[in-house]
Amino acid sequence: MSKIENKDCIFCKIAEGEIPAEKVWEDEKYLAFLDRQPLRKGHTIIIPKKHTETIFDLNDKEYSTLMLKAKEIAKILKSKYKTKKILVLVEGFEIPHAHIHLIPSDTPLKITK
């Protein structure tokens, strides 16, 4: 029996293992995996496994933990991809599940409006 919190949420399905993903890191409450449509090589998404629509809907402890996990994973990505920086992007319009994008990069992203 599935434990998916939101049956329509792709990230909940990834967290539960219903949809395969290339995992970068995982613990009991959080998951990091490679983006299927990366902006740069190594583009990683980190999510809480508990369904929450935005990072600002997380309680203070969950929010802080997510940010600290992102920092840990950014260090791993920076070393693995031998890059100057890890860009951080939080937007949340496409998938209504709290998530952070970590993007290895030596140059700025060009964001178009």
Strand 44-48 and strand 85-89: pairing?
unpaired
Q: Where are the alpha helices (DSSP H) in 3-110?
A: 10-16, 60-81
For this structure, is 101 an active site residue? no
Residue 94 half-sphere exposure toward CB, CA atoms < 13 A: 8
> Which is the catalytic residue, given 43, 51, 99, 101?
99
Which are the contacts of 94, defined by CB distance < 8 A and separation ≥ 6? none
What span, in angstroms and rounded, lies between the C-alpha atoms of 77 and 103? 8
Task: List residues with catalytic annotation.
Answer: 99
